[in-house]
Amino acid sequence: MRTNLFPNISIVLVETSHPGNIGAAARAMKNMGVANLVLVSPKQFPDEVADFRAVSAIDVLQQARVVESVEEAIKDCQLVIGTSARDRRIPWPMLDPKSCGEKVIQESAGDHSIAILFGREDRGLSNQELQQCHFHVNIPTGKEYSSLNLAMAVQIVCYEILQATLSETPEQMWDLDFANSADMEHFYEHLEETLIYLGFHDPQNPRQLMNRLRRLFNRIRPDKMEISILRGILAAINLVDK
């Protein structure tokens, strides 16, 4: 029988190239009581090598959800965290593994759906994928050799999630659910269309405008009613003739 201590937390592996890494990640997850695995366009899955590396976590592989895009993987999530080892031109809200675990447990207590994204073995998550995240998490390493195996990274993050349940963290109360990823993407499309309509945004010369607005609203994390209000304002603007 599959043990899942965290039913609303998903580990999302993006375009994993080696099936052995998928199996090892599944084993790392099950060690820490995490069972929801989502695979975005894996190069080779299902596979005997993945089963072999999973050992007693084959049930995690059997229940894994395979999707074609990150958007599909996170569309119902109210909190999305992406792993990143890179310095970015536009800084993003950052977490270390410990604060990531605490944040995830705090929000999972409110029945929020949460996804933690892990990128490709050779180049991680793309800039576009990272921009869909509310937070980035970075795992500190020694300077001499900073490359972590995918399963190691999954194990560290899942360990901190489990560890956070052992400490008392006050539950964050909110009257409405946060907007999920799909809601936010529709809002960003609506916002960009309106800014173009107003002549404020030139898509041929964007100058990081939409990236910075994404960072702003991801940091604020509007709830469903707030997004509805914002989209109502945008709709009203679009009804006004220039």
DSSP element (H, E) containing 114: strand 114-118
For residues 94 and 136, the answer to whether their CB atoms sit within 8 Å is: yes
pLDDT at 1 over 50: no
pLDDT in tens, 16-74: 999 999 999 999 999 999 999 999 999 999 999 999 999 999 999 999 999 999 999 99
What's the whole-model pTM score? 0.81
For the chain, the first-to-last Cα distance in angstroms comes to 63
- The structural domains of the chain, with segments of one domain joined by +, span 9-164, 181-239
Cis omega (within 30 of 0) on the bond before 19? no
Q: What is the fold, at CATH topology level, of the domain defined by 181-239? A: Helicase, Ruva Protein; domain 3 (1.10.8)
The SS3 of residue 192 is helix
Q: What is the CA radius of gyration of the chain?
A: 19
Separation CA 222–CA 62 (nearest Å):
35
pLDDT in tens, 110-156: 888 999 999 999 999 999 999 999 999 999 998 888 789 999 999 99
Give the pLDDT of residue 179.
Answer: 95
The CATH architecture one would assign to domain 9-164 is: 3-Layer(aba) Sandwich (3.40)
pLDDT at 236 over 60: yes
